[in-house]
Homo-oligomer: A and B are copies of this chain.
Amino acid sequence: MPQPSAFSRRRFLQLSALSSGVILAGQNTTADIRELGPWASPYGKRSRHETAVRDATGIVMQESETPQQALSGTITPSALHYERHHAGIPDINPDTHQLLIHGMVERPLTFSMADLYRMPQTCRTYFLECAGNGEHSFEVGEKTSPQKLCGLFSQSEWCGVALGSLLRETGLKPRASWLLAEGADACLLTRSIPVEQALDNVIVAYAQNGEAVRPAQGYPLRLIVPGCEGNMNVKWLRRIEVSDQPFMTREETSKYSDPLRNGTVRQFSFVMDAKSIITRPTYPMQLEKGWHEIRGVAWSGRGKVKSVEVSDDGGKSWHSADIQPPILNKSSVRFGLLWNWDGTERILTSRATDDTGYVQPSVKELIAIRGKQSLRYHNNTMISWRVQPDGLVTYLRTD
């Protein structure tokens, strides 16, 4: 007779029966509240009991990481969206901010915010991921949370004007093949983008999750380049210059390029490959025996997530997880799989497959292709968690 699998579906009553937290009727301990509470307010706050925050890191706090283990669903609250600043956050007045498009165009034009607001609006949900997301995964110890391993990843609903609409206004000269996007921060951060990429659903975004883009995310204008590494999504966008070649900026030469094992360097590695991470159960959670949903988030910069598999034996056997609809292009999904922990040591791992057929690699597989020295950027390797017999869940390095 086959062993009952830890992933078999059962009536959830079995979970309840095993849970020490379940109490029979008549013992509802939620205090009856007899006093009127405060009434409506102009701009709401979260509960004083909720304390999850971004974790700011770096010498001058140039980065902050999203607390993945505290979040649900696919929208990252704007207040918890990861940050990566190169010269801090400028304070921009939208009434005077303008976007200049010039270079190899038929008609150089400048657009005010008012100009952009009256143009057709495009709204899409896309993830953003820093190319360096996960870069410390080979250095950290077992007491590491999803926030530290995968905190430079967030997702928002972005609204604005399709860049393609603006480029139709300016026209493109016949040899136009690259453009430069420039931010209005003190370093005037710049990145080169091929024109064909710029016409592929790129948004000049003025809104994020319903309201204006937050200052830390580029207020009042951010370029959203779906599926591509975070710093191509230029914040505080002020200028686009069109050319017939890439601009070879600092952010695509000395940085954001990937040294390969043969001594060459991979440049313009725009697209973020398929990745997934289990966000629960993870460090520092203390697990009880019994039924738990293993859940997390998966995405691909190449298209849609096709499937996510979960293993509890370090990758020897895999089980298909459920994916929450809708499954959108270059947008993350939530996955989940009900699992029965029997109290023994288990290794939990997830891997995503996208609709191009690309499968998220193990650390060994990616090192075999690119070499370990290349994994500072674009490290999309599988992430494993060890469930110890005492119930503590810890990060398991697999390099």
What residue in chain B is nearest A324 (Cβ atoms)? B123
Which of A30, A97, A159, A214: most chain B CB closer than 10 A?
A30
Query: In the complex, which of the residues B48, B56, B97, B109 contacts A30, with contact meaning CB atoms closer than 8 Å?
Result: B97
For A324, what are the chain B residues with a Cβ–Cβ distance below 8 Å? Answer: 121-124
Task: Determine if A255 is an interface residue (Cβ-Cβ < 8 Å).
Answer: no
What residue in chain B is nearest A96 (Cβ atoms)? B29
What residue in chain B is nearest A36 (Cβ atoms)? B88
Q: Is the CB of B47 within 8 A of A210?
A: no
For A30, what are the chain B residues with a Cβ–Cβ distance below 8 Å? Answer: 92, 96-98, 184, 238
For A1, what are the chain B residues with a Cβ–Cβ distance below 8 Å? Answer: none
Which of A79-87, A246-254, A263-271, A384-392 is found at the contact surface with chain B? A79-87
Q: Can you add 19 more A-B contacts, CB < 8 Å, to A47-B219, A73-B209?
A: A12-B165, A12-B169, A16-B115, A23-B112, A29-B96, A29-B98, A30-B184, A33-B90, A34-B186, A39-B60, A40-B83, A41-B216, A43-B80, A44-B83, A45-B214, A46-B214, A71-B207, A71-B210, A74-B157
A-B interface, 7 closest residue pairs, ranked by CB to CB distance from nearest: A37-B88, A25-B108, A72-B207, A40-B64, A42-B53, A72-B159, A39-B61
Q: List 7 A-B contacts (CB under 8 A).
A: A19-B114, A21-B112, A29-B96, A40-B61, A46-B219, A49-B219, A121-B293
